[in-house]
Amino acid sequence: MDTKGLLVRLEVKTGKDDAMAEDVLRSALAMGRAEAATTTWFAIRFGRSEYGIFDVFPDDAGREEHLSGPVTQALLDAGGSVFAGAPLIQEFDVLADKPPATTSGESVTKALLITFKAKAGHETQVAQFLRDAQALVEQEPKTVAWFAIRLDDGHFGIFDVFPDNGARFAHLTGHVPRELAKHSLSLLGSVPDVGMLDVVDTKWADRSTRLR
């Protein structure tokens, strides 16, 4: 299982179009394919002028190698021409995951990023709830990949990807969100922030070869 990850946000500079931003991300992905320790990588679009990257690694060493490698440098170099400043990079721990299966042949176009703060003193219970949710997600064939994550200062999240809007809606009305809502008063210290994202491009690892 991958244990570490990065969530990167990039604001597009005023006057620059979406195609330029997506070209930068796809160019970064081309370099990222050579990084064996970058096991899963999603280029995502948050909104009209904000893009990002969600990627995971087996350990701290893999994450640090990525942060000091050509992909990160390419994003920094593009900051002045395409993006409004340096990328905002947030580290996280992976609590549980349903990694994408290369044998499925499933492409993905949509994603969800749900973040929330645990109620003070209930961080351990929230982490366990997310670990337990993995078994429910395994029963959702159209949830192509799913990651439960722990951010900083008691914040947690879920990131998952889908082939289309229908699959994303099915997940939103399924077991995991219902269980989260059921326990929200006892476990959550904030209303979950739900981001409906588009997937620009992907890389994920075969469990045997570690490269897609």
* CA gap 22, 52 in Å, rounded: 10
Residue extents of the structural domains in the chain: 4-203
The pLDDT tens digits for 101-150 are 864 456 899 999 999 999 999 999 999 999 999 999 999 999 999 999 99
Q: In the prediction, which pLDDT does 61 show?
A: 97
Q: Is the pLDDT of residue 36 over 80?
A: yes
Question: What is the identity of the amino acid at 92?
Answer: F
Q: In the prediction, which pLDDT does 196 show?
A: 97
* CA gap 152, 126 in Å, rounded: 14
* CA gap 110, 125 in Å, rounded: 29
4-203: which CATH topology? Answer: Alpha-Beta Plaits (3.30.70)
Q: What single DSSP character describes residue 100?
A: P
> Are 145 and 41 within 8 A, CB to CB?
no
The pLDDT tens digits for 179-208 are 988 888 899 998 999 999 999 999 987 654
Q: How confident is the model at residue 79 (pLDDT cuts 50, 70, 90)?
A: low
